[in-house]
Amino acid sequence: NKVAPKLGKARSNRYLTTLARLREVDTELEFCRNWVAQKERVLTAKRGKLSSLLKAIDEGRYSLCFGSKKLLQQRPGEHNTETTPFASVEDWHEAWDTARNGQVWSIWR
């Protein structure tokens, strides 16, 4: 209000400079708000994952799978009849069991 022009008067350079600075601050403030909102979304997602993992630990449920994603994708089926190296599901299952080797690992801290 100190630098605002009186009614009917032209805007001064000082007023225009102050107005430009305020617009820059508004833009930066909006950027900061968006940045904080993004970090809050990530934090919320990680807290949700943590709570589900803690619940699984309390219930004694553990999800472990040995073998490989590549081997799983090679499982014979209608979707990959031309690309799978296995002649039958039994052949694939044998390779899957070999890759898994019947091992179970668990780490407690």
The pLDDT tens digits for 60-79 are 877 665 567 788 888 888 88
Q: Is residue 69 within 8 Å of residue 34, measured between CB atoms? A: no
Q: Are residues 78 and 100 in the same domain?
A: yes
Most confident by average pLDDT, 11-25, 37-51, 86-100: 37-51
Q: Is residue 95 within 8 Å of residue 101, measured between CB atoms? A: no
* Alpha-carbon distance values, 94 to 4, 64, 69 (Å): 83, 19, 16
Identify the domain containing residue 90 by its residue range: 64-109
pLDDT for the residue 11: 78
pLDDT surpassing 60 at residue 104: no
pLDDT band at 4 (very low <50, low <70, confident <90, very high): confident
Q: Which residue has the higher pLDDT, 55 or 73?
A: 55
Q: Against a cut of 0.75, is the pTM above it? A: no
Q: Are residues 7 and 57 in the same domain?
A: yes
**What is the count of structural domains for the chain?**
2
- DSSP character at residue 22: H
